Structure 1
Amino acid sequence: MLLILLFFVAMWAGAQNALAGGGSFLTLPTLMLTGMDARAANITSCVALFPAQVATGWAGRKFSAGAGGLSMRALFAISVVGGAIGAAILLVTPPAFFAKLVPWLVLFATVVFTYGSFFRRPGEAQAQLPAPAAGVAQFLISVYGGYFGGGIGFLMVAALTMAGQNVRIASATKNVLAGVMNASAVGIFLFSPDLHWSQALVTAAGATIGGVAGAKLLHRIPENRLRLVVVVVGVLLTIGLFQRAP
């Protein structure tokens, strides 16, 4: 029964990741319900969501684009390097550091995205991050993504919209880049004894189905509604992360 629940929650998480991000905050507690500790659940969730991230990114790849003067190839390279560094940091530093930092990152991203979506004056519409700032933002998000990954989709949408993309293009671009930056961490976690394969396979199947469906829905939802969904997810993530923070 728990595996059936896990499958449907994973479908929801896959669609959520495709539309706005935050899917790992659905799979993590559900995996813990199956009997594993938080660390094992985090590792299993990361590996299990990776195929869905790849499938979602592939399904919407034609809508992805460069941002802030950076080509998609440059963003791809930055994400690979940042994700690898984040995975390496995971091996040598305690998780408490990022656990304290993440709520503030998501809060900042929520405020920035909300302002840019609903309160920015028309005269400010052309203001955007220059290429160096966009590259640094993507690099820092990628490092965090390789280390833990919760909320990276939302952070990327916020950064990419600041760099000049509209929310639909930003959502498609972050779907491609999310899979890229998690590849290094997954390569490491595949050999971890904390990886629970039965739960990982069930989660991967559900999340992949949900992710592909979400990618197809992404360009059929009115943009204002999609912006509102992203803001709501950001608020909920911020509240949840502050409650979990040590």
Structure 2
Amino acid sequence: MPDVPPLELHTILLVAAAGLFAGVQNALAGGGSFITFPTLLLAGLNPVSANMTSTIALFPSQTTSAVAGRKLVQDVGPLTFKRMFIISIIGGIVGAILLYLTPPTFFAKLVPWLVLFATSMFAWGAFRKQPIHATAGMPAWVLMLIQSCIAIYGGYFGGGIGFLMLATLTIAGQQIRAATATKNMLAMAMNASATLIFAFSGMISWPAALALCVGGIAGGLIGSWLIYRLPPQFMRIFVVCVGTVLTIYMFMR
């Protein structure tokens, strides 16, 4: 693995500003990684390092959101939440190891397709009609298979996992409030295992991670204030636009 390049002060400040915006974005509509990932690429990190650093930096604020809504967490159809949690941890480990073993040059070629997929999932999840009541559900083995795939993808890249899980959980029989809380806890589980592996990979830009983390926490507080004042739909449209531009840019590199 190549060395992580040192960052100058003005670059760290730019990364912190991106973290601030990402924190606001996550609080209002989700999709903060669409801001942090390209910013880290512009800062000079290779795609693998940028992805790992972004995952670690956003993990603290993600944990806060998950813990805050833990009382709303429920079992998922025929599966207990504990089993889904374990599946998410194992899948996150598998995805993180796959990313660690992926050469940066190959991952760079894969990134445009991952961003395209993540943007599509975000757009679909952000603008689909959310169900008010629980739906019919799905067989246990199907739910386990889907969650395993989502968890592996989450540990490997992670863009769009929130909307993938939200759709899966509502189809599996959860109401939207419980599905949102359960989704946050499962995402925390898969990213916790990935974060632990990434931290010892030697691929993390710790100054950038710290700057993103501080900016993200501040942005989350601002977002909590703006959530009653700024239409979330505006932020969703902005994320889709950013994702579209980023996808086109990645394919043209």
Could you list the structure 1 runs, at least 4 aligned residues long, displaced by more than 4 angstroms after superposition: 96-99, 108-116, 211-218, 228-238
Pair 1:145 & 2:154 matched: yes
Q: Any idea what SS the aligned residue of 1:36 has? A: coil
When residues 35 and 126 of structure 1 are mapped into structure 2, their CA distance, relative to the original with a 3 A threshold, is closer
- Identical pairs, percent: 41
Equivalent residues in 2 for 1:1-246, closer than 5 Å: 1-93=10-102, 94-95=106-107, 96=109, 100=113, 103-104=116-117, 107=120, 110-111=123-124, 114-117=127-130, 126-211=135-220, 232=237, 235-236=240-241, 239-240=244-245, 242-243=247-248, 244-245=250-251
Deviation at 1:183, TM superposition (A): 1.9
Q: Are the equivalent residues in 1 in contact too, given 2:84–2:147 (CA < 8 A)?
A: yes
In the alignment, the residues of structure 2 paired with residue 176 and residue 216 of structure 1 have an alpha-carbon distance, to the nearest angstrom, of 23
Q: Are the equivalent residues in 2 in contact too, given 1:55–1:208 (CA < 8 A)?
A: no
Q: Are the equivalent residues in 2 in contact too, given 1:17–1:153 (CA < 8 A)?
A: no
Q: Are the equivalent residues in 2 in contact too, given 1:9–1:26 (CA < 8 A)?
A: yes
In the alignment, the residues of structure 2 paired with residue 182 and residue 160 of structure 1 have an alpha-carbon distance, to the nearest angstrom, of 18
Deviation at 1:142, TM superposition (A): 0.5
Read off the aligned partner of 1:107 and give its amino acid letter. S
Q: Any idea what SS the aligned residue of 1:129 has? A: coil
Q: Deviations over 1:44-74 (max 9, x none)?
A: 1111111222122112222232323322212
Read off the aligned partner of 2:216 and give its amino acid letter. A
Q: Are the equivalent residues in 1 in contact too, given 2:137–2:171 (CA < 8 A)?
A: yes
Deviation at 1:143, TM superposition (A): 0.2
Read off the aligned partner of 1:70 and give its amino acid letter. L
Read off the aligned partner of 1:167 and give its amino acid letter. I
When residues 36 and 154 of structure 1 are mapped into structure 2, their CA distance, relative to the original with a 3 A threshold, is same
In the alignment, the residues of structure 2 paired with residue 137 and residue 106 of structure 1 have an alpha-carbon distance, to the nearest angstrom, of 19
In the alignment, the residues of structure 1 paired with residue 52 and residue 153 of structure 2 have an alpha-carbon distance, to the nearest angstrom, of 14
Deviation at 1:179, TM superposition (A): 1.7
Q: Are the equivalent residues in 2 in contact too, given 1:50–1:182 (CA < 8 A)?
A: yes
Q: Any idea what SS the aligned residue of 1:127 has? A: coil
When residues 236 and 176 of structure 1 are mapped into structure 2, their CA distance, relative to the original with a 3 A threshold, is farther
Deviation at 1:113, TM superposition (A): 7.2
**Structure 1 spans left out of the alignment, 5+ residues:** none
Q: Any idea what SS the aligned residue of 2:189 has? A: helix
Q: Are the equivalent residues in 1 in contact too, given 2:121–2:160 (CA < 8 A)?
A: no
Deviation at 1:101, TM superposition (A): 5.6
In the alignment, the residues of structure 2 paired with residue 66 and residue 212 of structure 1 have an alpha-carbon distance, to the nearest angstrom, of 30
When residues 191 and 9 of structure 1 are mapped into structure 2, their CA distance, relative to the original with a 3 A threshold, is same
* Count of residue pairs the alignment pairs up: 237
Higher deviation after alignment, 202-211 or 45-54: 202-211
Q: Any idea what SS the aligned residue of 1:195 has? A: coil
Q: Any idea what SS the aligned residue of 2:158 has? A: coil
Read off the aligned partner of 2:151 and give its amino acid letter. S
Read off the aligned partner of 2:213 and give its amino acid letter. A
